[in-house]
Amino acid sequence: MSTTVAINAREETALVSAGDTNSPCCVPAHGQEALEAAAAEALAARFKALADPNRLRILSIVSSSPEAETCVCDLSEPLGLGQPTVSHHLKIMVEAGLLNREKRGVWAYYSLVPGALDSLAATLAPKA
């Protein structure tokens, strides 16, 4: 059964298979469906969280901070963005499962969800 395109990395569907399949041109091998629509939607949602330069910079800053956590006040200035905008980006990444949010006192500290980026990377390069 190696004709299925799904290869699991942390119980999620991989983008590329190790793959050999057989189908002549213009006679698509219907029945395996490649990446399921629902799985594609879920994966795309996570990549969408990475598809903005400011969010990538936020991830970079958060990951390189002392305790690998950052409060909003540290982000607004270096990014040149307003505080509401930064909060908005953070929320998107929390909802995408990339960042954790911990509120201590008046501050909100954000940190990388361990393994989140790795699991996304595994989706792109199943073996490496």
Partner DNA sequence: ATAATATATCGACGAACGTCGATATATTGA
Partner DNA sequence: TCAATATATCGACGTTCGTCGATATATTAT
| H/E element, 104 | strand 99-104
Question: Does position 10 bind DNA by CB under 7 A?
Answer: no
Instruction: Write down the least CB distance from residue 82 to DNA, Å.
Output: 3
Nearest distance from C-beta of residue 84 to its own copies, angstroms:
18
Classify residue 117 as left (phi > 0), alpha (psi -120 to 50) or beta: alpha
Name the 3-class secondary structure at 33: coil
Binding-site string for DNA from residue 89 to residue 118, where x marks contact by CB under 7 A and - marks none: xxxx--------x-x-xxxx----------
Identity of the residue, 11 or 27, whose beta carbon is nearer to its own copies in the bound complex: 27
Q: CB 88 → DNA: shortest distance, Å?
A: 4
> How many CA within 13 A on the CB side of residue 51?
7
- Whichever of 29 and 73 has its CB closer to DNA, that residue is 73
